[in-house]
Amino acid sequence: MIPQHPTTFDLTMNSSKNLCDKPEEACGVFGIYAPEQDVAKMTYFGLYALQHRGQESAGIATFEGPYVHQHKDMGLVSQVFSEAILEQLPGNMAVGHTRYSTTGSSRKVNAQPAVVDTRLGTLALAHNGNLVNTIQLREELLKTNLHLVTSTDSEMIAHAIAEEINTGAGWLDAATHAFHRCQGAFSLVIGTPDGIMGARDPHGIRPLVIGKLDSQPIRYVLASETCALDIIGAEYIRDVEPGELVWITETGLASLFWNPQPQRKLCIFEMIYFARPDSLMHNETLYSYRMRLGRTLAQESPIDADIVFGVPDSGIPAAIGFSQKSGIVYGEGLIKNRYVGRTFIQPTQSMREAGIKVKLNPLKDVLSGKRVVIIDDSIVRGTTSRKLVKALREAGAREVHMRISSPPVTHPCFYGIDTDTQDQLIAATKSVSEICTHLEVDTLAYLSWEGMLAATGEDTNGFCSACFTGDYPVAIPQQVKSSKLILEKANQYAVL
């Protein structure tokens, strides 16, 4: 029984999707086993904390014995759910998802969790990441006369598990066998009538953490980031390890390694940009790591200037670090409208030509006559950066120097980040000197690849940095690779 609650609206297109000059994350996942709690409401708040990971759709599935209740729709978490809807989602455990589409278009049918019936009952799967063998897996599943409802790889993972269950396997064996059929990036939270599973691919490309509630007996939570634990008062225990499957039931938390030879390759962009600065990775907040990026950037590419500031919000920690190392005064040169969020109403042509002031507005009295250093975490297409520089000059900045706290993005991602095809990446088609001219800045410098990895303080082999190097840790099938990987170009990091 899968009741489908009425929805508020159904937007089939996100017309603003490609206007952002940043790579977009695939999604955030959340799961909780807590019979004593209102699991739907706790999942709602968990997803609310993970909203930055995806703004197209959101969904929650709750388990009440053999019954599954679900609601999912297009829009932000606060738009998809209300008190009345959450009251219709009873149960002792829940799985939630907030989505940005990388595999599968932006339509309600592709919203998650993916819910599939099996011999042992219904499963609900929430997926962060992207498979690279989707074509092969789809062909294998279709040979069994399976009817796929969506165009997502997430539904295929769910059906691969169901297929194993329907031929006699139990939940854990079925999941393990299905995971071996999947290549690429996947951090999963899977709800079943008997418990909740959490799993990561053997490289751990996308994050997944475990938390516990202050309760007796101890109840457990799974989430993409620790900020989703904080919001509900859960304590971070540890990460789900690459190649690990955890099983949360009434008896507690159990663990097994479905892949005995994991090789950690956490996406470095999670640390640079995607994850919230207050989330923990490697036992520290990402705010601290991003400050170190700024200090390293100042050391590598010094400049004489009057003020340094970051592009809100992601560039601010690196700007503070840059200021600390360089001695240049830190200030605010841009004010962000934090209520813009995601809009389906597009500005007129004249408004678009006015630049990016809908979201960012320069402080003219701060900038007038000053030599400014603006820090950003990345440049992908260059469209926003160019408009931003123009706005700073119009506000009276005498010199504009740009510093980027990551290397040039020269290759597309195939593991759950939307970076377009290679020819859309400005650093893949232009040298740093050419980008500097295109953006109309006085100087431009990127952080070195070595400096970015050294700032982690961890084993530098434990990260995926393919978007900067083209060295993909999971082999990309040629049919998939050719769709995005168009160019090859080497770049230097600075033009001063």
Question: What amino acid positions are annotated as catalytic residues?
Answer: 27
- Name residue 311's amino acid: V
How far apart CA 77 and CA 85 sit, in angstroms, is 12
CA angle at residue 267 from 488 to 186, to 5 degrees?
105
Ordered DSSP codes for 316-335: HHHHHHHHHHH-PPB---EE
How far apart CA 317 and CA 153 sit, in angstroms, is 35
Q: How many CB atoms lie within 10 A of CB 29?
A: 35
In this structure, are residues 380 and 412 in contact, taking their beta carbons and an 8 Å threshold? no
Ordered DSSP codes for 288-320: HHHHHHHHHHHHHS----SEEEESTTTTHHHHH
Q: Is 467 annotated as a binding residue?
A: yes
How far apart CA 189 and CA 419 sit, in angstroms, is 25
Place of tokens 């900038």: 367
Report CA-CA distances (Å) from 106 to 56, 60, 479: 7, 18, 23
How far apart CA 443 and CA 316 sit, in angstroms, is 19
Q: How many CB atoms lie within 10 A of CB 480?
A: 18
Q: Is 464 annotated as a binding residue?
A: yes
Q: Is 420 annotated as a binding residue?
A: no
Q: Is 117 annotated as a binding residue?
A: no
Q: Is 182 annotated as a binding residue?
A: no
Helical ranges in 20-80 per DSSP H? 39-49, 77-80
74 pairs with which residues across the strands? 57
Helices 316-326 & 286-300, crossing angle to 10 degrees? 50
Backbone angles phi, psi at 175, to 5 degrees: -65, -45
Candidates 493, 415, 420, 417; CA nearest to 452 is: 493
Q: Is 278 annotated as a binding residue?
A: no
Q: Is 227 annotated as a binding residue?
A: no
How are beta strands 219-223 and 209-213 bridged, if at all? antiparallel
- Which tokens in the block code for residue 208? 């997944």
372 pairs with which residues across the strands? 307, 400
- Name residue 426's amino acid: I
Binding site for [4Fe-4S] cluster: which residues?
A: 267, 413, 464, 467
Give the residue ranges of the annotated binding site. 267, 314, 376-377, 413, 464, 467
Q: Cite the annotated binding site for Mg(2+) by residue number.
A: 314, 376-377
